[in-house]
Structures are given as structure tokens and as C-alpha cells.
Amino acid sequence: MAESLINSIARLRVIEKELLTKEFVGRLLAAPSYEDCLKLLAEAGYGAGAPEGGDEIESLTRTQLTRTYELVSDLMPKRHAPAAEVFRMKHDLINVKLLYKLRMQGEELSSAKLDFGGIYEEEALKKAIASGDYSMLPKEFASALEELDVATYKNPDPALVSAALDSAYISYARGLHSAFTKEYFGALADMTNLIAAARGFGEERMLPPGEYGKERLAAIAEALHSEPERVPELIKTPLETGAMKEKLRGAFEAYIKTRSAAVLESARDEYLLSLAAKGKTDIDSPAPIIGFLLAREREAEVVRLILTAKRSGIPASALEERSLELYG
């Protein structure tokens, strides 16, 4: 683990040149076959040293991400480590939800296949959920799980589990001493809440809000059904500025015409990618290292998507352009 953030970021400036470019993604898409894609990735050093046997796509991406997680841990000074770990905890969130729902249904947890990339060791996490001893987890998660133990005893509702744990994750992330983390997860919460409002979800499905309080969310939800033309101005009044509000206003203008939540989800994803990229030039915050982590995870998603399509014979034209966007 590094001592100096400035020195780590200087190292990162060299390492981040290894990130795949949009041009390289274009070459992957244009490659005539799955095997040709693998050759291009090998030439780029992607997933070098991946073990043979098993699923090639999973092996390549897992190897690359494992190396990334180790590098980020090495680069990040101890005092900033939680700010990077919380982004990896989205994988733990998926796993905790899965394990809790399996336990709720009386299923065996030991054989459950968990999502890769979290900070908790798989067997320890399974043991914690199976036993009901959540002390290894952040207090926000532990409290939510203890409340769920009571709430789901007679009403085993999977939706209740997801909503409670999503809220616990956002609360934990926004409670960390990192301006970048607070901004990122605040935007994630607000944009997700507005998508939930558009879908007609109630307050019980909402995340802890960032800039948009309950009253504003309720007003937007009401306007969506009664006066949709008012929604863009409710999102951003003439006295308010900010890139997120501009992005949301444009997205809701498109949503009002199409009634497709996909345009809202696309706006959220694009904004969060841009937020991560914006911190690349910082030298006095962990934002560049976190951005590199997010870039590598996004890169793995794109590689996985293209390789899966090539292996399955799906034409490149069938892949949505927004699903292939890279960080920065």
C-alpha cells in the first residue's frame, strides 16, 4: 500500500496508457471471428497469464481484473482505501442479496455461485449470511440485514431485501470521507430515484436522496402522470445549474416523447462515466485511482460483451453503441 497519493498518481499516468482505446474496440468489432478477437487481445497483453481451460472469456476478464484490484490496492494510500473499496462492494452487494434471498427460501448457500470482484472472501460471506452474524460487514449493511431478519420472518419479500440493501449501500458510500465518492453515489441515488419515479415505484423503493429530497421526487412523480411537460423544469429550475440536472432534463424530455425508461438509464450511465473521467486530472484526491478501477471494470464489460457476441455468431451491428462506451 502506497504512502504518497501524488507518487501513486504519477505511476498511474504511465499504467493507464495500457487501457483499451475506442479504436481498439473498433478493431475487435471488425474482427472476422472470435479467434481473431482473442489474438488481438493477446497482442495487447489483455488477460496475460490467464489459466487455460474453462471459459476463455471469464478467464481473460477475471485475470485482468484481479491484476487491477491488486494494483489499485498497492497504489491507494491506507487512509483512502475505503473510497476505492466501496466501488468494489457493488459486487458484494449482489452477493449479499443473492445469499440472503436463498437463505430466506430455505436453500443451501455453500454451492451458490457468487459475483466476482468484491472485497469479502466468498466462504466468509456465505458463513456470515447463513449464521445471521453480520459483524464482518459495515454497520449500515449489518443493521439493514438485522431489520430484514425481523421484517421477512413472516413476509419473505425479495423486493424488500433488494430495496433495504441498496439503501444501506448508498448510505455507507456517502458516509465516507471522500468528496468524489459522495458526489458519485449522490448522483447515482438521485438518478436512480428519478428512474424509479418514472416507473411508478413508491417511496419504499427509493434510495437515500442526494440533491433531490422526498418532496421534489414526489412532485416529479406526480407531474409525470398529470403534467409531464413540467418535469424538465422541476428537475432544473432557472436558478439551478449543474451537469447532472442538464443531463437529466434532456433525458426526461426524451422520455416524455418515448415513455422508455431506457433513455433515462442511458443518461445515468453516461453521466456517471463522465463523472469518473472528470477526476482523471486530480492530484490531491483518490479520484484518478478510482477512475482507473472503474475504467478497467467497464473495459471488462465491453470485452466480455464483444467476445460473447463473436462466439455466438451475433453480428456487431446488433450491439448497442452505448453499451460499448469506454471511460474517458
Residue 290, in any domain of the structure: no
pLDDT per residue over 20-32, tens digit each? 999 999 999 999 9
Residues 185 and 273 occupy one common structural domain: yes
H/E run at residue 25? helix 22-30
Domain residues for the domain of 235 are: 180-285
State which amino acid sits at residue 304: R
Local confidence band at 238 (pLDDT 50, 70, 90 cut-offs):
low
Residue 291, in any domain of the structure: no
| 291 close to 282: Cβ distance less than 8 angstroms | no
Sign, CA torsion 198/202/204/210: positive
Choosing from 151, 177, 203, the residue where a domain stops is: 177
* pLDDT the model gives residue 237: 63
Question: Which candidate, 256, 252, 274, 275, places its Cα nearest to that of 264?
Answer: 252
Rounded distance between C-alpha atoms, residue 133 and residue 175, angstroms? 23
Residues 257 and 215 occupy one common structural domain: yes
pLDDT per residue over 268-316, tens digit each? 888 888 888 877 778 788 999 999 999 999 999 999 999 999 999 998 7
**Grid coordinates standing for 140?**
449500515
CATH, residue 71 = 1.10.132.50
Choosing from 129, 159, 177, the residue where a domain stops is: 177
Using the predicted structure, report yes or no on whether residue 318 has a pLDDT greater than 90.
no
Number of domains in the chain: 3
Confidence (pTM): 0.90
Rounded distance between C-alpha atoms, residue 234 and residue 225, angstroms? 14
- DSSP letter for 110, please: T
Q: What mean pLDDT, rounded, does the chain reach?
A: 90
Choosing from 157, 177, 197, the residue where a domain stops is: 177
